Amino acid sequence: MKTMPQPTIPGPVANPKTPDFTLPQLACDAHTHIFGPGDKYPYAPERPYTPPDAPLSAFQALHKKLGIGRAVIVNATVHGTDNRVALDAIAVSDGRYRGVANIDGTITEQGLRALHAGGFRGCRFNFVRHLGGVPDMAVFHRIVAMVAPFGWHIDLHFDAVDLPEYAPVLAKLPLRYTIDHIGRVKAADGLDQAPFRTLIELMQRDDKCWVKASGFERISAGGPPFRDAIPFARKLVESAPDRVIWGTDWPHPNVKMMPDDGALVDLIPLFAPEPDLQRKILVDNPARLFDF
């Protein structure tokens, strides 16, 4: 029997609270992952960490408890460019799931067509240093040119400090792009910090720019319930209410403080108390971006 590698990061909260906030019907978790199981969907040899399995069954149980009707599976770094774990989940979702792929310069048009038919509507690029750093920019621009005709967007994961440097590149992109986790800004640095100013300027000036109100535990300077992140999410919603989406980031790889997903749901009415904004962020905006 093959020995499975031991996890190097913790798993999510096993029994999250039932949220006090009731999500609207068809609310979308627009940034989430499925890990393994590793014996069926092997982890990439060059992965930067090894997660505990967080399989489809746990994913489905969580969303049932939280009241989530739709989801976007962002294929994580640990699975490399093998997108089967997300493809298989989408295939059994009755149209309720979409995917964001990990691809590289070897992708062909035929490969993209297969992913599109399988429910993928974007691909991800990691610029975060602890996950490998900057991609080959020639490959980046080649992939952008390949996916644009499919109506895809690109999903971008940055360290906040690098946002000002890349803003001119982003503004020139020929397709929509999403920025993960409120740009991974540091809440302790305040609303006037250069990375967050850059993010808001992009949202106000570039209608291709979308931002995920996610990763509250990543930007918080304190512990749960991470309320120091609320002013940042609120500013996003005020800046471009039609281009903000929300996600849990379950099962929360590489976080310093593991959040309770039910408590994350309860943060939504704190930064978007208005029912019409809640519906935009949770239902209408992701439906447009991910072609639900």
Catalytic positions, written as ranges? 249
Count of C-beta atoms within a 10 Å radius of residue 18: 10
CA Rg value for the chain: 18
Residues 53-58: contacts with CB within 8 Å, 24+ apart? 54/11, 54/12, 54/250, 54/251, 56/88, 56/89, 56/92, 58/251
Residue type at position 208: K
DSSP code string of 75-93? --GGGTT--HHHHHHHHTT
Neighbours of 170 (CB within 10 A): 18
Give the integer Cα–Cα distance in Å for 251 and 10.
9
CB 272, CB 238: distance < 8 Å? no
Report d(CA 242, CA 285) in Å as an integer: 6
Buried b (16+ CB within 10 A) or exposed e, 248-272: bbbbbbebeeebbbbbbbebbeebb
Q: Residues near 7 by Cβ (< 8 Å), separated by ≥ 6?
A: 50, 51, 52
Contact in structure between 167 and 161 (CB atoms under 8 Å): no
Give the residue among 32, 136, 131 at the shortest CA–CA distance from 86: 32
